[in-house]
Structure 1
Amino acid sequence: GNVTVTNIIVTDPLVTVTGGPIDLVPGAIDATTFVAEYVLTQEDVDAGMVENQALATGQNPNGDDVEDTSDDDSTVEGDDDITITDLPEDPGMIAIVKTGTFNDEDGDGFAQAGETITYNFTVTNTGNVTVANIIVTDPLVTVTGGPIDLVPGAIDATTFVADYVLTQEDVDAGMVENQALATGQNPSGDDVEDTSDDDSIEEGDDDVTITDLPEDPGTIAIVKTGTFNDEDGDGFAQVGETITYNFTVTNT
């Protein structure tokens, strides 16, 4: 304008602005008096930006109020664009750890076909944005639980669980091994995923989960029976007649 504006202050609904009030003669510019700091929330980080506007108010020589809503880059009257501060975004990261526990249902200390393994899955948000709609899939079992959302740093070790029924092939192998996959979406809707590790959430650690089974060393039993063959039919044994032996072997 062409008159001095006095008692100029700046207010902002997002922050507390320090500095002022000041007076400005026509054409004067002040770029140092008013300042404010804003502490980011998780919602801001997830949004990838912060946007808002400030208001400058003062009085002309007649005592009337003079004001302007902030623009982001222009002093032209009527340019009142909201200030948008873009934030560098992490694409989102999750980590999954899968553990297996053998259940010795018959209590004999060894694994048999039909007994089970209980799998537990621990999912951690290792990035800086919220990951939503997280599910866990596993080619070996049907995983129950979920979907869930995790904010950065959050850990869930209780939602996802699965049981696996041992086969004879598993018992013979003495172990069961496989991996699970955790998937979710970052705030932009992009997929975020991780293949399970057996004990680590470090990126790149994707070791297969191996559940060892207590092995019976193996036992067999043999029964031997003998039958006399009375070849000449006289009802008595003679030299030269025979006995037939039969052997029955059982895997016990």
Structure 2
Amino acid sequence: MIRRVLAAIAIVVVLLVAIPLVLTPLYAIRAIHPVSTLMLADHLTFRPALREWVPLEAIAPVMVHSVLMSEDGQFCRHDGIDWGEMRAVVDAALAGEETRGASTIPMQTVKNLFLWNDRSYLRKVLEAPLAIYFDLLVSKRRIMEIYLNVVEWDTGVYGIGAASQHYFGKPASELSARQAALLAVTLPAPGTRNPANPGPGLDRLARRVERLAEASGDYVGCVRPAETG
């Protein structure tokens, strides 16, 4: 009995590793529009889900910059993992202090595409190397494009296209700096934060992100379109 259980666990782990290894090179192709595991679960259980794929160039730059500065300020400079943040979290845990998240946009992207949402150690063990692999094979602009199109902004509302219409009744290309910042600070707690009707705490966070996005400079260089000519 124990052998069967261990064999089943081994098969699951192998699949959890093999599927991302195969799909990641395919997801680097812009014509492919990946879906998240949450979206698949909604479809399989017949729950309503909204998602409209929006290419990165059709998203207001201030939206891209706001999410980058809010979620992963070192996105353009790391290899999938922010090792400085990771060390700080480990040091805090070893000291018995409350830890904060050190999840980067590549880590969140592979979690959304291939893994699940709970805070299990198995998920974290898988997430880190998958994020490095994903960052190695997929460009930063493409990672950001995928992330913005698969992340959940409200229950059953996936991606910036659906979120922009859901909260503000406009396409993602027309979002203002204020609206972009509010959407960005909603991401850590979708479904419990409302960017269309922010409370004082959410408003303070959004104002901070708005300032960071305005002064982002070289921090967002990797998601800017390449110059031609």
Q: Normalization by structure 1: what TM-score? A: 0.18
Identify, as 1 or 2, the structure richer in strand. 1
Q: Normalization by structure 2: what TM-score? A: 0.20
Identify, as 1 or 2, the structure richer in helix. 2
Larger radius of gyration: 1
